[in-house]
């Protein structure tokens, strides 16, 4: 049974989420503050975090930052703030999705299903690919650079492995959203740009002579490789 950590300081909203999630077969862990959220996260290792932005002892951004320092656990931000800047801030900080209040319970469940499905994607090729100092195992979906594992958020990993599966092939933002985010995604296509930026930062020690995540202006992105063995 998958466990969901619900971080929401409004007891009524937290109870509603708990009912919907338990009805759909999830184990629900409830936290009502940032401090309690981090304690529960470290102590119970949930499969996904549903994280409210506004908390009584701070904000969800700081909780997200702490989670990302040690884990790639999927995180969905939940907030009454519907401005696109807040949505982009969450995605840039490593959130996997963003839901604005007021929400429909079924939508929250559907988003959770989608994020968990992406994070659990298994690549069946069973191959390990090498691009110079970069090692990519498409079976265990792990990435190593200079022998050290590179940690990605689930969505960033899905995006990176999708591009790796089609080396030197260009994809538009719309194609990447459809294949990685899913056709039901209703956010900004800038999420692709932010994810690419994070992936590049994670691979900043990868030699430019071996490959790169390349931007083709007006066309899209590609996993461009120059040396493979």
Q: CATH 3.40.50.2300 in the chain, residues?
A: 3-119
Work out the burial of residue 4: count CB atoms within 10 Å of its CB; fewer than 13 is exposed, 13-18 middle, 19 or more buried: buried
- 167 cis-preceded (ω within 30 degrees of 0): no
Please list, residue by residue across 195-217, b when 16 or more beta carbons sit within 10 angstroms of its beta carbon and e when fewer do. bbebbeebbeebeeeebbbeeee
Site of tokens 């909203």 = 13
DSSP conformational letter for 179? I
pLDDT at 33: 96
CATH number of 128-225: 1.10.10.10
Q: CATH 1.10.10.10 in the chain, residues?
A: 128-225
Give the contacts of 93 (CB within 8 A, at least 6 positions apart): 61, 64, 65, 68
CA torsion sign, 41 to 44 to 48 to 52? negative
Say how far apart CA 156 and CA 162 lie, in whole Å.
10
CA dihedral 217, 198, 142, 117 (to 10 degrees): -90
Q: Which fold has domain 3-119?
A: Rossmann fold (3.40.50)
pLDDT at 222: 93
Say how far apart CA 136 and CA 127 lie, in whole Å.
8
* pLDDT means over runs of 10, the chain (229 residues): 93 94 94 95 92 90 87 84 62 78 88 79 58 83 89 90 89 90 77 93 87 90 73
pLDDT at 229: 40
pLDDT at 193: 93
pLDDT at 129: 84
Question: Around Cβ 42, how many Cβ atoms within 10 Å?
Answer: 12
Say how far apart CA 66 and CA 202 lie, in whole Å.
17
Per-residue pLDDT tens digits for 134-192: 888 877 788 999 889 998 988 899 999 999 888 888 999 999 998 888 877 777 788 89
């Amino acid at each position: 049974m998958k466990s969901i950590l619900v971080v929401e300081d409004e007891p009524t909203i937290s109870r509603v989420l708990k009912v919907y999630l338990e009805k759909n077969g999830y184990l629900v862990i409830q936290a009502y503050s940032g401090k309690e959220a981090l304690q529960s996260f470290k102590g119970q290792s949930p499969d996904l975090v549903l994280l409210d932005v506004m908390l009584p002892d701070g904000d969800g951004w700081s909780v997200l930052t702490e989670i990302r320092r040690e884990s790639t656990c999927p995180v969905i931000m939940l907030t009454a703030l519907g401005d696109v800047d807040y949505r982009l801030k969450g995605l840039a900080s490593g959130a996997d999705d963003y839901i604005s209040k007021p929400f429909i319970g079924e939508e929250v469940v559907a988003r959770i299903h989608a994020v968990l499905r992406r994070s659990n994607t298994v690549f069946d090729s069973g191959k390990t690919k090498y691009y110079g100092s970069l090692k990519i195992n498409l079976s265990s979906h792990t990435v190593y650079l200079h022998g050290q594992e590179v940690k990605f958020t689930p969505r960033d990993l899905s995006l990176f492995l999708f591009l790796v599966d089609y080396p030197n092939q260009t994809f538009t933002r719309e194609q990447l959203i459809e294949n990685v985010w899913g056709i039901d995604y209703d956010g900004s296509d800038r999420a692709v740009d932010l994810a690419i930026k994070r992936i590049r930062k994670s691979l900043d020690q990868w030699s430019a002579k071996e490959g790169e995540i390349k931007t083709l202006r007006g066309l899209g992105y590609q996993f461009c490789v120059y040396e493979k063995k």
